[in-house]
């Protein structure tokens, strides 16, 4: 009886310690949401009650997880981005694309009736303790946290883009930290460092300029008394970033910058079809996994590229190829017999399989981290965004062979396949990096949950940098350098005046003495 009472008390205390968390993830990219879904599920498993706004409601119920606002889907990018359609991601500077195409339009969802009802009548039993928002282009959703008067936590599904560091006053040293819109790696030469500074500065400016309209949107849909978008961004207490030092390099960071790279690499709820498992088990000579992610349709590529893939992949038989193709009937004829296509593939299960020998990828961060997690070497063919730097970093670390789509030939594809299959240095480097990537005090999910709880328990300012109170020129110590320079110049001037006076005085005395001697 006493034991039952103790267990009941523990259960009650556990429930009392649970928090209520609102997650706001309006972007339509499934590859982004996979991280946020696992983040919210990790919090739900810890006993917290999580409510989610997104375009991706769960297909199956999950304890403590509620899709409280299901946004309408204007046009889903899932398996729907053609070769021609990719041009929208390369049609301008990264900062401009992120704000105008991937940010501002989503702010209009602040007027969604479900969200409006939530803002006017937020839950009170219990109320929200924190709001988690995606840090990408639609930072306007931070206004929800401001209205609810709770801490705001950011979550980035990529390494942090250059315009986001200032939200938490995270330092960036452009001498050795290339921004993730460039394909530079460490040890930049002078011209690369110069370009890194100019490129970073311009993208920060263009993002701010193009996203200023978000101030009007939040005041239209929520309240005309709200602060502007720049002030709302500064209310972010912490950012959970999908990066890790083993892959993204050593950087100067503050405690509010929390790396949780690979948080999405989880097998929970991922089902492996029996037919696919049998195909992988029967691949006695191994197989290569080929996917360009959840958005891009390989079948929409020009015939010259598909023919290169067909010819090169056919030559590696009896090694098999598992290829993610949304609509295989749209492929041209001539697919090699050793290539097996599927419209949906449980990627983590495939990359974990002992018979997988390599991964042909576009270099998306999610897939790259999954391959690193399981120690699988890659052939990378970047298409847009941060894929170029992801592949260049992998090439530097000998886990990836990088190819350029613009200059791709059958001979280059053949050489890459031969090297990745026959040169052991790539698999050995991938296994070594995998060990380093996974060697942490806590795994990515535990880290994210710990720091979310930390902000809730200790307040929005618990990790806030003192640099947030300073202007950019004060942070860079320009006022101090200016004072020291002016002081030095004044001191130099005074010294020169004194020396001239003394010199003049000495000369005058010498002249008087000389006149006395003559007389």
**Count of other CB atoms within 10 angstroms of residue 511:** 10
**Count of other CB atoms within 10 angstroms of residue 17:** 12
The pLDDT tens digits of the residues spanning 362-414 come to 999 999 999 999 999 999 999 987 889 899 999 999 999 999 999 999 999 99
Query: In Å, how far are 87, 246, 382, 400, 516 from 186, measured between CA atoms?
Result: 28, 13, 19, 16, 75
The pLDDT tens digits of the residues spanning 301-353 come to 999 999 999 999 999 999 999 999 988 888 999 999 999 999 989 999 999 99
3-state secondary structure 472-499: HHHHCCHHHHHHHHHHHHHHHHHHHHHH
Quick check: helix, strand or coil at residue 66?
strand
Omega of the bond leading into 126 within 30 degrees of 0 (cis):
yes
**Count of other CB atoms within 10 angstroms of residue 129:** 20
The pLDDT tens digits of the residues spanning 111-128 come to 999 999 999 999 999 999
Q: Which residues pair with 6 in a beta bridge?
A: none
Residue 479: what pLDDT? 93
Q: Give the DSSP letter of residue 283.
A: -
385 touches 89 (CB < 8 A): yes
Range with lowest mean pLDDT among 7-11, 130-134, 161-165 = 7-11
User: Hey, what are 66's tokens?
Assistant: 């509620």
pLDDT at residue 36 tops 50:
yes
Max Cα–Cα distance, the chain, nearest Å? 124
User: Hey, what are 495's tokens?
Assistant: 């010294």
**What share of the chain in percent tops pLDDT 70?**
92
Compute the residue count for the chain: 519
**What share of the chain in percent tops pLDDT 90?**
74
pLDDT at residue 219 tops 50:
yes
Residue 88's closest CA among 155, 29, 35? Answer: 29
pLDDT at residue 197 tops 80:
yes
Residue 423: what pLDDT? 96
The pTM for the full model equals 0.89
pLDDT at residue 78 tops 60:
no
Phi and psi at residue 472, to the nearest 5°: -60, -35
The pLDDT tens digits of the residues spanning 425-458 come to 999 999 999 999 999 999 999 999 999 999 999 9
pLDDT at residue 13 tops 50:
no
Mean pLDDT of 53-78: 87
377 touches 397 (CB < 8 A): no
Quick check: helix, strand or coil at residue 189?
coil
pLDDT band at 10 (very low <50, low <70, confident <90, very high): very low
Residue 1: what pLDDT? 43
């Amino acid at each position: 009886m006493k034991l039952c009472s103790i267990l009941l008390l523990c259960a009650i205390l556990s429930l009392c310690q649970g928090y209520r968390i609102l997650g706001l993830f309006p972007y339509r990219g499934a590859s982004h949401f996979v991280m946020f879904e696992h983040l919210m599920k990790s919090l739900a498993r810890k006993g917290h009650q999580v409510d989610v706004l997104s375009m991706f409601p769960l297909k199956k119920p999950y304890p403590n997880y509620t899709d409280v606002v299901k946004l309408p889907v204007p046009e889903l990018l899932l398996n729907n981005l053609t070769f021609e359609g990719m041009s929208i991601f390369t049609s301008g500077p990264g900062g401009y694309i992120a704000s105008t195409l991937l940010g501002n339009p989503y702010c209009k969802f602040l007027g969604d009736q479900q969200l409006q009802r939530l803002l006017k009548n937020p839950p009170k039993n219990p109320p929200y303790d924190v709001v988690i928002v995606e840090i990408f282009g639609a930072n306007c959703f931070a206004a929800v946290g401001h209205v609810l008067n709770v801490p705001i936590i950011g979550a980035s599904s990529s390494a942090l883009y250059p315009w986001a560091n200032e939200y938490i006053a995270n330092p960036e040293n452009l001498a050795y930290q290339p921004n993730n819109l460039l394909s530079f790696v460490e040890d930049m030469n002078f011209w690369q460092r110069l370009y890194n500074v100019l490129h970073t500065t311009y993208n920060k400016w263009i993002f701010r300029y193009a996203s200023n309209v978000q101030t009007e949107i939040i005041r239209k849909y929520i309240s005309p008394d709200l602060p502007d978008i720049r002030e709302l961004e500064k209310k972010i207490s912490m950012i959970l970033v999908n990066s890790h030092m083993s892959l993204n390099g050593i950087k100067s960071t503050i405690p509010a910058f929390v790396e949780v790279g690979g948080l999405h690499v989880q097998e929970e709820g991922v089902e492996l079809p029996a037919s696919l498992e049998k195909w992988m088990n029967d691949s006695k000579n191994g197989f290569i996994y080929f996917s360009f992610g959840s958005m891009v349709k390989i079948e929409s590529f020009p015939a010259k590229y598909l023919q290169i893939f067909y010819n090169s992949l056919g030559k590696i038989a009896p090694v098999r190829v598992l290829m993610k193709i949304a609509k295989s009937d749209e492929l041209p004829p001539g697919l090699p017999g050793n290539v097996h296509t599927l419209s949906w593939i449980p990627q983590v299960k495939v990359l974990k399989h002992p018979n997988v020998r390599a991964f042909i990828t576009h270099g998306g961060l999610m897939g790259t981290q999954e391959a690193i997690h399981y120690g699988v070497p890659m052939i990378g063919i970047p298409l847009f965004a941060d894929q170029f730097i992801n592949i260049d970093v992998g090439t530097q670390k000998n886990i990836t062979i990088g190819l350029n789509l613009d200059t791709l030939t059958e001979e280059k594809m053949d050489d890459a396949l031969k090297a990745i299959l026959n040169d052991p240095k790539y698999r050995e480097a991938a296994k070594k990096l995998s060990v380093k990537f996974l060697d942490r005090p806590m795994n990515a999910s535990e880290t994210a949950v710990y720091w979310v709880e930390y902000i809730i328990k200790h307040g929005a300012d618990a990790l806030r940098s003192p640099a947030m109170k300073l202007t950019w020129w004060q942070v860079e110590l320009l006022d101090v350098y200016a004072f020291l320079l002016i002081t030095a110049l004044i001191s130099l001037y005074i010294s020169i005046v004194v020396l001239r006076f003394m010199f003049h005085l000495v000369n005058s005395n010498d002249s008087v003495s000389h006149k006395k001697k003559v007389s």
